[in-house]
Each structure stands twice: as structure tokens, then as C-alpha cells.
Structure 1
């Protein structure tokens, strides 16, 4: 079959093919970028936090109306921690200042040189007098965990004391020292200026999401600080044995109430719940884009079916004449399929260019990464197949028209 007669026929009736091609182009541009964003958001929502077992990890903030001195607050924290660790099924427990993905916590600016005019990065600060490497179940890649000599005492009514030694995540270390492979012993400063305090890296953990859990690499800019801060409302992270979390929560709450003669207010939350809340918007966006993409496919398919059906009804006599002159069903079918392929190719080529342009806009405005070509290619193949599939039924009906019926006057 020659392509030229088909193209000539399309040029004589430009409007309908042009509208379908534009529809395919817009759908391809939107769909490829939407699916890419869906994939990015799903990956972000399911990325590991760094905790060994999120399903078994929970934390609780314990407070009372009792007025205590700093010494009494420290003693109270130790008593509560002892009560927590005495519960069967508790793998580890430690006091902690904040939790990953909780959307509540402290960050600090750090720099490599006091002479810098701006800090290098912002990092999330996890403070504890115990071992958060064990408490969180973090994977220590290099160096060591803190020991008792590293822990400093913090007065809650004064400025934050800066520990000499810290543990950082691998992502933070790589950003601070991109040309280094060994980060142990490296130093940085808390802020800039001549009064900026210095700390040294003694350990590197594989990962630990920040309390904000940003989507970018900054979502793993975290550091552990060996600081004991007296407080009347301490928070503890507890890791239970697999499958025992709910029982352990109940027994830990009972144990800490028993350990204190004053009434306590206990606020318990699981890491799973924090993840669900933190990434709730991402998953809502995912479902919205999936629905929009599905509707685009249905609308595009409907447009192709409608256009092909219209052309079949307009060409009934032409089809009948061709059938009377010896054209086979396969010839009629091939004609309409080829016609739709040409229109689909026009839309796919335009849509591919439009998809790349739309992605460039998203990269500049939303800080997305560049759209991989595989998404554009897959989308192009999808819409070509969609064009053929949507045109097949009306094309087959056209091929099934008998010459007598097609040429009969109405």
C-alpha cells in the first residue's frame, strides 16, 4: 500500500487528524513526566530511614507536673530508662532529642572553614547520652561509636554546648569532603566566624534520615551528638523484638508509670506512623497523577476511536467501491491502521519534543532531575500501540462492510 494517497487524503481533511495528533502530543508530554514524578515520589516514600527495623521501633515522650532540679531530672531520666530496658522484648533504648521523619527537630549550619561567609550545609542534630547507633540500629561504616568520655553535660538554660566528637551520615560526609575517602578525623565548624566551635568526626553511619526527611540528598544530612540534656519531659527511642512492638509499648508504658510516684503524661508514637504522615502528601500526589494519566489515556483512545468511526461512516461508499473492485478485508483494515499510525507518529514526535521541554521547565522550577529518555520512548511506544488498538475495532467494521450495503443509496 502506498503512503502517498493516505497522506494526500489526510491533507485534504486536516482538522480532525491535527486535533488527534495534538491530543496525542499533549498526552505523551504530560504522561511521561507524570509517570516519572510518580516513580520519584514512590522511591522517596519507600527509601530506607537508616533504622534497622522501623516496624519494631517506637518512641515516647514522658512528662509530669513535678518540679525537679537538674540533678533530679538526670536521675529521673536514668530511672525511666532503666524501667524501659527491664521490659522483656526491648532490644535497645536510648534518650533522644528527635526522630527521623517526625517533622520536628533541630538543624544546625556547619562549615569547613571559619573564614567562609556562608555555611556549607544544614544538618539535623540527634542528641543522646546513650548509643543511638544501637538505639536506632544504624549501620556503622567507619570509625567507632561514642563512649562515656565523649558525652558532655548540657545546661538547658544556656546555649548549646558543642561536643568534640560527632558521628555523621555517609551522605553528609561525602558532601563535606567530596575528594576524600576516609572521613575519620576530619573536622568542621559550627557556623562561621572566629568564634565558631570545631568538632571532629569519629564515626560514619550508612544513613539516617533527618527529622524533615527532605526529598533531596539533604534528607540524609544527619549527625549524632553525645549530649546529655536534663529535662522534665525526656524522650526515648525503643526498639522491640520483631513482632513484639504493640505488646512492648503496653508493658513499657506500665513500667514507667510504676517507676514514678507522680502521675505521668506519656505520648507514644511509632516510626511507621511518622513515615505515613511525612510521605502522605507524596502518596496523594502519586494517586492523583495515576488517575490523571489513566484519564488521559482513555480520552486519547476515545478520540482515536471517534475519529476513525467518523471516517468509516463518511467513506462507506468509497469502501464499497474498493471492495467491489477486489480489495480484501485486510487491505481496508491496513488502510485505516496505516492512516492512524501516521497521525499517531505525528503526535508522538511532537509529544516527545514537548515532553523534554516540559521537563526542562520542571527541572528549573521544581528542582527535579532530567527526564530519562526511557520514559519518553516507553510513552511513544505506548501511544503508537494505543493508536493501533483504538483504531482496530472501527477499522475492522469498515473492512466487514459488503460492497452492496456500502454503495446502497440512503
Structure 2
């Protein structure tokens, strides 16, 4: 019914075109499978839940000049000024901003440093008792800082004795869920867990510490300060425009810059990943188009070479459907072999990417779906030329006889 023997004979007589098309299909299958999987992985990374109201938060950085400035007092004044701006929900002086790509981290243990125990790496933030309200995160257990617990000091040896930690960090240390009120250690300094935050991404979204963070009640009064501000919905742009004037009016000997929304900071941090996703999408489109054009062109070339054969078959009574079926089966044979080779290539490429770039293991479902799409695309690409071959008049095709 499908005339496999004549099709195979025809392919063997014109091996070069078939081999080139087979390789093109194989390369397309291998690359598109991995590219689609990487796109899915990167999109999941870009769209991961952060636990933060990104559209309502922004940061500013400030360098204060002049002599005789009481920086501890100035921080209090500046925070109060910012909180009184219409549209501001809360503001906090903080050492680092989540999702920004810049911050501080450390290693924490269940026992003092000189004893063997479990250790966990985490980012840490220094802020006062306004931090939770400013960040807009949910406290699922425990309490916030009390004002008396906040340390205001530039002494590097000074460390708060209490901390808020994220749920992910809590679960690393206390999988049984009994961490509230327990003590962990920063080197040899004990830190009591007084509150657990449901979800809060740290400064680094592509780091193992992205979900593990601590917040210490500590303010460092220095010439350079960083503030995080949370505003009412749709009020952020207005507050960002006026905040510099408000602060300079109170004390002009300072420079205010880097007034940026949290979503803008995040976009800048993940810009390379966003660009990679777009480039891979373009690559997939180009590969599929080139492969489809290759199939279309090869089929037309075969038709032009087989005018006499097609015309003879039409003269002997072959139906148009038989001619169309012939080219569909021929293309399906080439495509099936190409997809099989490409699937093996996709597995090999996925293993190489996993070994060299720590990309997750390629899911077999992406190979299967890509293979099916390539087969469907190839059949669609050959339908037009096949119909054109079926419309060839026997008298025109056999005119050279």
C-alpha cells in the first residue's frame, strides 16, 4: 500500500539530498529539545515567587558628607521623614536589598564553631523592627523584633542575639518543625530564633542560599546608607520623584542616587537570563523555518527530477492521492530516521550541558514532544509540493518520451 520498496530505491539513487535532510532534522531535534527545556527552566527561574511586593518596593542609596554629623541620629531622622511622605507604608535602613544581586552571607551551625554539627549557608540582613512591614513578608510563627533588641553600632564584633529566619532555613535546621525559640550559632555567637518568615528570597536568585535568609536587629550608622521603602499601590512613582527633595531639604550635604524599584533591580540582575531565553526562542524559530524550507525545497527538487516517473504513473491510472501519499511516506521515512538520530543527539547534548554548565537533566518528555512536532512540521511542509506533483498532467510529464 505504501510502496516502501520503490521509495527506498528512489532514495538510494539520490542519497545526498536525503542524507542532508536527515542530518538537518537530527540537528533540529537535538537543539530544539535542549533549547526548549532550557527556556522552560529559565522561565521558571525568572517567574519564581519571591514573597515580596516587588511593584511597591524601591531602594535608595545615600552618601552623607560634612563634619559633626551624628549618623545614628541622622538615620532616625531620615527614616521618620521617609515614613511621613504621603503614599509611604513604611521604610527601613538596611544593609542589602533582596533580588538585587548584592548582599552579605555567612555560615550558621547548630553548635559552636569548635564542635561538629550541621551547617547552613544563608544571606543576612541588618535592619530595625520596621523591616517586616517594609518588606511586606508574612511571619508564620513567632514575633517581630522589639525596639530594645535593636543594636545601633558600627562595631563589627557586635552581633544581635536574636534573629528572624526564613521557613526554608528553619526547615534545613529543624525538619521536625520545632525551631522557634531554638538557638543557632554564627561562629561561636548564639542566636535565638524568635520568628519564622514564610517566604522571602534573598539577594541572589540563582544561589543555593536564595531561600535561606536571616534578619538581625542591627543598624549600622555610617556615611553611606541604604534604605528600602514600601509604598501604597500605584504610589511608588510619585514617592520616588519627591523623596530626594524631601531628604535634601532636611540636610543638603549628601548625594542621593540609585532610586530604583525592586522589580527594576531584579530585571537588571536577571538580564542575562532574559536575553538567553529570547535568543533561544529566536534560535528555535530559525531552525524550524530552515528545516521546513529544506524539506519543501528537497521535495520540489525530487518532483522536478521525477516528472517522467510521476507522469507515467498518472498515465497508468495512479490517483492523485497515491502520488501525495508517496511523497508523504518518503518524507516520513527520512524524518523518522532523522528524529531517531536527533533524539540520541539530544540526550548526549543534554548530558554535556549538565556536566559543563550545571543545567538540570533533560526531561525525556521534551525529546518526545519535539520529535512529534518535527514530524508533524515535516509532513505539513511536504503537503504543498506533493499536491503540486499530483496535479502534473500525464501528457506534460511524458512529453519527452
Report the TM-score range of the alignment, normalised by the length of the smaller protein: over 0.9
Equivalent residue, structure 2, for 1:168: 165
| Contact 1:171/1:217, CA 8 A, preserved across alignment | no
Choose from 315, 318, 326 the match for 2:317.
326
* Deviation for aligned residue 1:144: 1.9
Distance 2:260 2:2 in 1: 70
Point out the more displaced range, 74-83 or 4-13: 4-13
| Contact 1:130/1:226, CA 8 A, preserved across alignment | yes
CA distances 1:41-97 after superposition (whole Å, capped 9, x unpaired): 22222223321x21121122233212346xx21111111111111111111111111
1:9 aligns with 2:5: no
Choose from 183, 188, 206 the match for 2:198.
206
Distance 1:160 1:135 in 2: 27
Point out the more displaced range, 108-117 or 295-304: 108-117
Distance 2:3 2:61 in 1: 74
Distance 1:175 1:25 in 2: 44
Is the alpha carbon distance of 1:328 and 1:163 closer, same or farther for their aligned partners in structure 2, counting shifts above 3 Å? same
Q: Which runs of 5+ in 2 are unaligned?
A: none
Q: Which runs of 5+ in 1 are unaligned?
A: none
Equivalent residue, structure 1, for 2:284: 293
Q: Secondary structure of the equivalent of 2:209?
A: helix
CA distances 1:345-402 after superposition (whole Å, capped 9, x unpaired): 1111221222122112211221122222222122111101111011111111111111
CA RMSD of aligned residues (A): 2.1
The TM-score with structure 1 as length reference comes to 0.91
CA distances 1:114-139 after superposition (whole Å, capped 9, x unpaired): 35679833311110023311111012
Equivalent residue, structure 2, for 1:80: 78
Aligned residues: 398
Q: Secondary structure of the equivalent of 2:313?
A: helix
Point out the more displaced range, 42-51 or 381-390: 42-51
Distance 1:331 1:286 in 2: 43
| Contact 2:2/2:325, CA 8 A, preserved across alignment | no
CA distances 1:4-43 after superposition (whole Å, capped 9, x unpaired): 3123433443332222112111111111111111122222
Equivalent residue, structure 2, for 1:120: 119
Equivalent residue, structure 1, for 2:296: 305
Point out the more displaced range, 353-362 or 334-343: 353-362
Equivalent residue, structure 2, for 1:28: 29
Equivalent residue, structure 2, for 1:57: 57
